[in-house]
Amino acid sequence: MTALNVGPTPLARIGRFMADNPLVPLILLLVGLVALLQILQPGVVNSRWLANTIKVAIPLAMLAACQTLTMLTGGIDLSAGTVATISAFATATLTPLVGAPAAILIALSVALVIGLVNGFGVAICRVHPLIMTLGTALIASGCLLVYQRYVIATGTKIPDFLVWLGTGRTLGLPNGLFLFLPFATLVIWMQRRTGFGRLLYALGSNEAAARLSGVRSWQVLLSLYALSGAIAGLTGLLYLGVVKTPSLSLALPLDLPSVAAAVVGGTSIFGGRGGFGGTIIGALILTVLGTMLTLMQIPEGGRRILFGLIILAVTALYIRLTEQGR
């Protein structure tokens, strides 16, 4: 380097740091939102609120893991909310009949089977993931409605363990973390440090190139969608514990937010870019935003408009911050 090439300015250096560590600006934005919330509603940011926010964000983040992982390959899993609902409903209705462990096992198996069906369609029949998962969601919800007619009078019971996980607190923090922390660690480790994780990015980036390098993409996709189904099933169990009502549409309202959490967290729907770390922050951002709007005394229409505009502003800011370094 010659004298002509003066070192980068401090601003550019900060920019590059942000670009290399995209989680940092995302966390800063989250902190900014929390500060805004505290200004709008003084005193709201307390430990109880924090525990509450984490509790609500966990199932959202877990369901968004399904979206993140599938989106890395350029896919999507629109059946995640349905699978979670089915898993929750099956657990609650089967527990009085066969006991909690067996009920949970059945519920998770059903989730895995739906995931495998998705995987079969996407990986082997090459159906577009959006259509495949939308299709299985329709089919599965039809099956759920048929099933529920047979268990109207059997009563429901939510396993105590799930209630403890969903609503209990330890040292002021929600017990859901006992499930989520290992889960998140595992997912992030898998996505960064395992061959399978790398292949997800590879398929999303250029499937033909991955093929030329010897990757059999059907194996990856089949495993991926099965995994996604299993994660959705697990989320359903946790959500059952959180909400404590086995509704027929329990986790369906999470479908769109789970996609939103992933994209706000920096994962590209066209594949090859992003990660679960960002998704977790994305889920927290959405949850904090939800609280902010709940507590705001304005007409519902205004709330939705604000919600949309803030999401847009946060993502635009995020892109500005990380782009500096490019």
Binding of residue 113 to other proteins (CB under 8 A): no
Q: How far is the CB of 121 from other proteins (least distance, A)?
A: 6
* Binding to other proteins, residues 284-323 (CB under 8 A): 290-291, 294-295, 297, 299-309, 311-312, 315-316, 319, 323
Which residues make Cβ contacts (< 8 Å) with residue 128, sequence separation at least 6?
A: 122
Q: Which of 90, 110, 184, 263 binds other proteins (CB under 8 A)?
A: 263
Closest CB to other proteins among residues 254, 280: 254
CA 231 to chain centre: 10
Dist CA 273 CA 9 (whole Å): 28
Residue 5 in contact with other proteins, rule: CB under 8 A: yes
By CB under 8 A, which span of 28-36, 99-107, 127-135, 225-233 interacts with other proteins? 127-135
Least distance (Å) from other proteins to the CB of residue 27? Answer: 18
Nearer Cβ to other proteins (41/109): 41
User: Can you tell me the distance from the alpha carbon of 270 to that of 75, in angstroms, rounded to the nearest whole number?
Assistant: 8
Q: Which of 49, 161, 164, 178 is in the footprint of other proteins by CB under 8 A?
A: 49
Using a 10 angstrom Cβ sphere, with 0-12 exposed, 13-18 middle and 19 or more buried, the burial of residue 207 is: middle
Q: Is 212 in the site for other proteins (CB under 8 A)?
A: yes
Q: Which of 31, 97, 128, 182 binds other proteins (CB under 8 A)?
A: 128
Structure-token pair, residue 272:
């090859």
Please report, for residues 57, 186, 199, 230, the alpha-carbon distance to residue 133 in angstroms, rounded to integers and kept in the order given. Answer: 24, 24, 21, 14
* Touching other proteins, residues 139-168 (CB under 8 A): 139, 141-146, 148-149, 151-156, 167
Q: Is 135 in the site for other proteins (CB under 8 A)?
A: yes
Using rule CB under 8 A, residue 28 touches other proteins: no
- Does position 121 interact with other proteins (CB under 8 A)? The reply is yes
Alpha carbon distance 284, 260 (integer Å): 11
The answer to the question of residue 326 lying near other proteins (CB under 8 A) is yes
Considering only 48-56, 61-69, 108-116, 176-184, which stretch makes contact with other proteins by CB under 8 A?
A: 48-56
Residue selected from 180, 183, 239, 276 as contacting other proteins according to rule CB under 8 A: 239
CA angle in degrees (0–180, nearest 5) for 53-79-222: 115
**Burial of 144 (C-beta count, 10 Å sphere; 0-12/13-18/19+):** middle
CB 286 within 8 A of CB 60: yes
Size of the site for other proteins (CB under 8 A): 116
Of 134 and 173, the one with the shorter C-beta distance to other proteins is: 134
The gap from C-alpha 51 to its chain's centroid, in whole angstroms, comes to 19
By CB under 8 A, is residue 196 in contact with other proteins?
Answer: yes
Q: How far is the CB of 293 from other proteins (least distance, A)?
A: 9
User: Judging by beta carbons within 10 Å of its beta carbon (0-12, 13-18, 19+), is residue 270 exposed, middle or buried?
Assistant: exposed
Which CB sits closer to other proteins, 102 or 216? 216
Residue among 61, 184, 187, 202 that touches other proteins (CB under 8 A): 202
The Cα angle at residue 147 between residues 120 and 99, in degrees rounded to 5: 95
Contact residue for other proteins among 14, 28, 30, 52 (CB under 8 A): 52
Q: Does 24 bind other proteins (CB under 8 A)?
A: no
9-30 burial, b at 16+ Cβ within 10 Å, e below that, comes to eeeeebbeebbeebbebbbebb
3-state secondary structure of 173: strand
